[in-house]
Amino acid sequence: MQGVHKSPNLLNGTILADSSYRLRRFHTRTILVREQGRNAVYKVAATEEARAFLELITVRERENAESLRGHFDVLRGRLGDEGIVYEYLPHPSLAQSIGLELGSSHCDRADELLGLYVHKIHALERSRGCPSEFLSVIAGEHPGDDDLAVDCLSRGLLDLTPRNILVDGDRWVVIDNEWSFRFPVPIVFLLFRAIRELCLMQQPEIRRTTDIHRPAVGLLAMGLRTCYFPKHWMEYCKDPQISLSRMLRWEAGFRRYVAGSAYQSPGHVKMRPRETTSLPPSRGENYGGVFTGVRHILQRAPGAYWLARFAERLLLGRRK
């Protein structure tokens, strides 16, 4: 924020995240500081317009703590003149824990952690119906265009994903409660966001552990590369009423809500997702066929990446 770094502690702190890509009213910074011999984390407004957003975050944390009670703990901060201050928790995220298990070839344990996460999500308060406010406010659709009726979380916790859950033994602590809403959101969309994030974060481990007993599907195109999903993970984010392409459009709508027209494309679902039992490392991805050389040339051509991302936006709008 203009004038946000007033104290020496914040000036000398380490910036962990700077959401400069967002609309000004959502632009925050997260800073790690050392205070009185211990670490603390500050979330500060990076613009004057974002001050109100900080206050809203603390309200959402309080409401989420009540909504998630018995299933998750919620890390709540204290709002002061400098911003929101949080206790520093030195625990790995659930996403990191799953990645560590995959990296150690403990695939069954990784699957157990993901399965427990899904179980906890389904145990939260939910309802069934058309999530009309979500569709209009977040997804950018016009409710009433279809008769969509799906299972929804009663409270719209869009960022309740493994990346934002710290694991302290049997205690799972939810951090980063910025994007939670008082209207319902489809459970399958939250799970889709969670699985997609995991697959992007753990792509090297997923590729290394893909074999005949653990096939993967090349589901998403991201720029000029393909993101592979473990086949059995995909079962968590399937719904007979909602295509994966539609959920990816919802993801694009959410990004537009946060960042405006400058949002980054989330990629697109491939027209013919390929199942495989063997994958090369990420940097050595084999595109196959006659187009291999062409794609490698495109990767080195100036502007090719951004051209591909622009094409993804067009594809998002055309898929059903």
Q: Kindly give the parts of the chain with pLDDT less than 50.
A: 1-3, 5, 284-315
- DSSP class of residue 265 equals P
Nearest to 153 by CA among 175, 172, 181, 176: 181
Is 315 strand, coil or helix? helix
pLDDT attached to residue 283: 57
Contacts of 258 (CB under 8 A, 6+ apart): 22, 23, 26, 179
- DSSP class of residue 211 equals B
β-pair type (171-174, 165-168): antiparallel
Count CA within 13 A, CB hemisphere, residue 278.
1
pLDDT attached to residue 316: 54
pLDDT tens digits, 29-51? 999 999 888 999 999 999 999 99
Backbone angles phi, psi at 315, to 5 degrees: -65, -40
pLDDT attached to residue 137: 95
**DSSP letter string, 14-61:** EEEEE-TTS-GGG-EEEEEEEETTEEEEEEEESSGGGHHHHHHHHHHH
